Amino acid sequence: MFYKILLIILGIYFLACLFMYYAQRSFLYYPNINNYTNSESIEYDIETIFIKSSNSSLRSWLNTNGNSEFIILFFHGNAGDLENRAYKANAFKKMGYNFLFISYRGFSGNEGKPTENNIYEDAQSSYNWLIKNGYKESEIILYGESLGTAVAIEIAKNNSPKGLILESPFTSMVDMGNKKFPFLPIRIILKDKFDNQSKISSISCPILYLHGLSDMLVPKYMSDELIANTASKVSSYFPENDDHMMDFSNELLNEIDYFINSL
């Protein structure tokens, strides 16, 4: 009887692992879910363009009318579309910054499906687009939000941007998976690992870390662990009451402005 019960338990566990292996990306990417409480709309004339990446055309927002010599290349998180980031685009426009907000394949109506490699390819395509359209690497600032921090870190590792801004970064998707599903062999079954911790030390440009101390999704200690392994110049802003979706307050915007102007 004992062995029969054990076999049943092991069978259920195996099926759970099998299910998570094949369904895991539905637990990681949420292109149709709006997890933002901010319902702000675009307040300015921002150009919508489409950037070619493999067989997909990535819907993107472009502003080149800013007063700054720099351009912010923005990578969003794992949920929602460009419209959910309208308040950030409005803020950057108001601050006088040029920017390019891209959406990955599978998001914002783009064809294709998001995977770690596909998203990296989409991000590199957008970086290459900036270079082809007259921007120097010394004028590009990468900005990653949540999952987008892994995208920004990957692009910073393989290129030479002027600066890197990480909002609510995590150490790796393995660590996040272990936190959410501690009973599963995450390291073995996870396809998209987004291993920021192993890459961060190879980045040479200055990095601004933004993380709310009340973040209930990605604990702030993950930023601390990344900082401990960062070899380049570090700046940080850790507001006490901000959750995962940080408040784009005047204080946060001032930190971004100060960081960019110090580059």
By C-alpha distance, which of 202, 218, 226, 257 is closest to 66? 257
| pLDDT tens-place string over residues 18-77 | 888 898 999 999 998 876 656 678 888 899 999 999 989 999 999 998 788 999 999 999
Q: How many CB atoms lie within 10 A of CB 236?
A: 15
CA atoms within 13 A on the CB side of 207: 28
**Gap between the Cα atoms of 222 and 166, Å rounded:** 12
SS3 100: strand
pLDDT > 90 fraction of the chain, expressed in percent and rounded: 82
| pLDDT tens-place string over residues 164-216 | 999 999 999 999 999 999 999 999 999 999 999 999 999 999 999 999 999 99
Q: What is the pLDDT of residue 73?
A: 98
Lowest mean pLDDT among 3-12, 132-141, 203-212: 3-12
**Gap between the Cα atoms of 51 and 56, Å rounded:** 8
Mean pLDDT over each residue of the chain, to the nearest integer:
93
Q: Hey, what domains does the chain have and what are their CATH numbers?
A: 2-31+44-261 (3.40.50.1820)
Q: What is the pLDDT of residue 36?
A: 65
φ, ψ for residue 210, nearest 5 deg: -120, 125
